[in-house]
Amino acid sequence: GAGVSQTPSNKVTEKGKYVELRCDPISGHTALYWYRQSLGQGPEFLIYFQGTGAADDSGLPNDRFFAVRPEGSVSTLKIQRTERGDSAVYLCASSLGAIWGETQYFGPGTRLLVL
Query: Could you say which residues in the range 61-100 bind other proteins, by CB under 8 A?
Result: 91, 98, 100
With respect to other proteins, which residue has the nearer C-beta, 44 or 81? 44
Query: If binding is defined by CB under 8 A, does position 25 make contact with other proteins?
Result: no
Task: Give me the sign of the Cα torsion angle 28, 34, 38, 40.
Answer: negative
CA triple 72-85-59, angle to 5 deg: 40
Q: Which of 43, 77, 86, 88 binds other proteins (CB under 8 A)?
A: 43
Query: What's the DSSP call for residue 72?
Result: S
Q: Which of 13, 26, 51, 56 binds other proteins (CB under 8 A)?
A: 56
- CA dist., res. 32 & res. 46, Å (int): 11
Q: Hey, how many other C-beta atoms are within 10 angstroms of the C-beta on 33?
A: 25
- CA dist., res. 20 & res. 6, Å (int): 11
Query: If binding is defined by CB under 8 A, does position 12 make contact with other proteins?
Result: no
Please state the closest distance from residue 72 (CB atom) to other proteins, in A.
16
Q: Which residues pair with 46 in a beta bridge?
A: none
Name the one range near other proteins by CB under 8 A: 14-22, 30-38, 62-70, 77-85: 30-38
Q: Which of 41, 52, 84, 113 binds other proteins (CB under 8 A)?
A: 41
Residue 8, preceding peptide bond in cis (omega within 30° of 0): yes
Contact positions toward other proteins, by CB under 8 A? 4, 31, 33, 35, 40-45, 48, 55-56, 58-59, 91, 98, 100-109, 111
